[in-house]
Amino acid sequence: MQCSSCGRSAVIHVGWKGKNYCEHHFKRYFLGQVSKVLYKYDVGGKVMVALSGGKDSSTCLEALTHFDEVELHPLYIDLGIGEYSEESLDTSESLCDALGLDLEVIDLEDEYGAAVPEISERESGKVCGICGMIKRYLMNRHAYENGYDYVATGHNLSDEVSSNFNNLANVYLTPFRGLKPVLEEKEEYRLVARAKPLYFLKDKECKVYAETNDLIHYGAECPLSRGSPTNELKEWLHKLSDAKPKVLRNFAKSFMRIEERMDTNHDDMGRCENCGYATATKVCRFCRVLDMAGGG
Ligand code: AMP
Ligand code: ZN
Ligand code: ZN
């Protein structure tokens, strides 16, 4: 397989473009897709990158180092999931060292009195749902308290489309307000703006980027999340996109347009009586879950 731009040996075929790319031209294509998100939504200033140690958020952080508009502040949340959390933290630290950035760390158990395995035993909901809520809450709160302009996550095109399909499959339409690559801040609810720089890049493209740029990342899946329904949906969508290369991008664009046409006022939004951050209930779920678990 030869690069469609220069004829050198190609590392990837990008279906929707109908092109093969060598390492050099793939990097150019990849950063071009990231810049589309940054420039279209005018993302700049202090950007907190939420690092999980996995390939996507590592890729997201490295990709952003190529843009002068952003000042990077990587954050790792230690959820206390045994060896998995320890390895993820080590990996995130090594990556930040290699990139010359300081990693900020929140230890859930130290700071709020309970780790995810303990919380999930006490709570009735699915562990990934609770863990996701805790991560989103802490990312936003850390960014707000430190005066950061954006929270950036490693969500890629495959994640976004499959999780939206999963929401449709469960008639769960609340998240249809969060489908765009960049969500504006809402100071009145202490919500920091959010950015997904890898929004237009597929799983495989992020994997090849991490590999060809020798980005340190931890490949293990969370031991608590095995058999997640979105993984099956993702496989199904990838099969579909083998035959129809533009289908993932088109789904993502349709989801964005649906959101643009929706009435997105936040009548149901308020602030938590306990912590002051955004919630649709009197006391937010983070405070309820952590109180029950004996935390702050
Ligand atoms: P996930 O919820 O595991 O699909 O992860 C989605 C995104 O959340 C990742 O791409 C990261 O940007 C961020 N993230 C996941 N886990 C952590 C963590 N332990 N600490 C900080 N950010 C995280
Ligand atoms: Zn080339
Ligand atoms: Zn609260």
pLDDT for position 265: 64
Question: Is residue 29 within 6 Å of ligand 1 at its C-beta?
Answer: no
Residues around ligand 3, an ion, CB closer than 5 A: 272, 274-275, 284, 287
What CATH fold (topology level) applies to the domain 30-292? Answer: Rossmann fold (3.40.50)
Gap between the Cα atoms of 125 and 30, Å rounded: 37
Question: Is residue 134 within 6 Å of ligand 1 at its C-beta?
Answer: no
pLDDT for position 296: 47
Residue ID of nearest Cα to ligand 1 atom 17: 52
If you measure from the C-alpha of residue 10 to the centroid of ligand 1, how many angstroms do you get, rounded to a whole number?
Answer: 30
Instruction: Starting from the CA of residue 280, give the closest ligand.
Output: 3
Residue ID of nearest Cα to ligand 1 atom 14: 52
pLDDT for position 94: 98
If you measure from the C-alpha of residue 151 to the centroid of ligand 1, how many angstroms do you get, rounded to a whole number?
Answer: 11
Residue 272, pLDDT > 90, answer: yes
pLDDT band at 205 (very low <50, low <70, confident <90, very high): very high
Q: Where are the domains of the chain?
A: 30-292
For 217, how many CA atoms within 13 A lie in the half-sphere containing its CB?
25
Q: What is the pLDDT of residues 225-271, one digit of tens each?
A: 866 677 788 999 999 999 999 999 999 999 888 888 876 666 688 99
- How far the first Cα of the chain sits from its last, in Å, is 56
- Which range is least confidently modeled, 82-86, 115-119, 249-253, 254-258? 254-258
What angle do the packed helices 203-212 and 23-40 form, to 10 degrees? 120
pLDDT for position 137: 97
Q: Confirm if 43 and 68 have CB atoms less than 8 A apart.
A: no
